[in-house]
Amino acid sequence: MRYYVLDVGIELILRAQERDVCKHWKKENVQLALLGIENQSDIDRDMPLRIIGYDGAAYRGQLTVDKNQDGSFHRNHRSRYPVVSVVIYYGQNRWNRPLKLKDVLQVPEGLENFVSDYKMNVMDLRRLNRETVDQFQSDFWFVADYFWQVEHTKDYKPSSNAISHVEEILNLFRYALKDDRFSIGNIVNIGEEVPNNMCEVLDRVENRGIQKGKMDTLVDLVKKGLLSIDDAAKTAGISTDAFKKLLAN
């Protein structure tokens, strides 16, 4: 499943040879560049190897063939375009691992001049300056603003500005913070409206946490024989059958 927000996309399926984000930059239907975004909540020493793998696959993808009228094939002669990759890093510690391919490899003496290097670009989201954060014009501003505030003020005052792509931003927060409370299924119950700003989002996250804590306490009391299932269900405001399903989980 892919989620697209801001001027680029956000994809939360991270593995294999697939990018987190792949956005084509075109002008008048002419391909100018390909922008790849990789989301990282943890530091990865081998990230340069992954990036060169993604970029290499994108360059190789430009070597497609076209079919001639007689059924034969020829390599396409369309203009080749650059591939630009950016790693967006959300972690608490500064990125202190290799940024270049050669820094990952153990190059034998005498081969240094023959081994090509490859540099990757890392955007350390928590350590961006405020001016850079406020240059974001899309929903990604809410993410950058959150991490800037937490890093520089040790607090977070949510904005009341409307979010255009709520589910996509929630999934990005869920991934970046490793917090399932930001899942759309947790925040929006059946019949509820989707929150449209960070104030409402955080209210829902906090309330769901309180509700879960209350429910966990009732389940624990029932399992210890200190409370009947009927009384626990009544206190929780759900049916007895629904509470029995909670006990079974």
pLDDT at 113 over 90: yes
**CA–CA gap between residue 5 and residue 187 (Å, rounded):** 19
How far apart (Å, rounded) are the C-alpha atoms in residues 160 and 199? Answer: 6
pLDDT bin (cut points 50, 70, 90) of residue 181 is confident
Packing angle of the helix pair 229-236, 198-223 (nearest 10 deg):
170
Distance CA 32, CA 124 (A): 26
pLDDT at 15: 36
User: In 10 A of CB 38, how many CB atoms?
Assistant: 22
Q: Could you report the per-residue pLDDT of 36-71, keeping only the tens digit for each? A: 999 999 999 999 999 999 999 999 888 887 878 888
Report which DSSP code applies to 44. -
- pTM here is 0.71
Domain boundaries, the chain: 1-127
Q: In what order do the strands lie in the sheet with 121-124?
A: 21-27, 30-40, 83-89, 121-124
Q: Which residue has the tokens 């929630």?
A: 170
10: pLDDT strictly greater than 90: no
The strand pairing partners of 163, in sequence order, are none
CA distance 15 to 10: 14
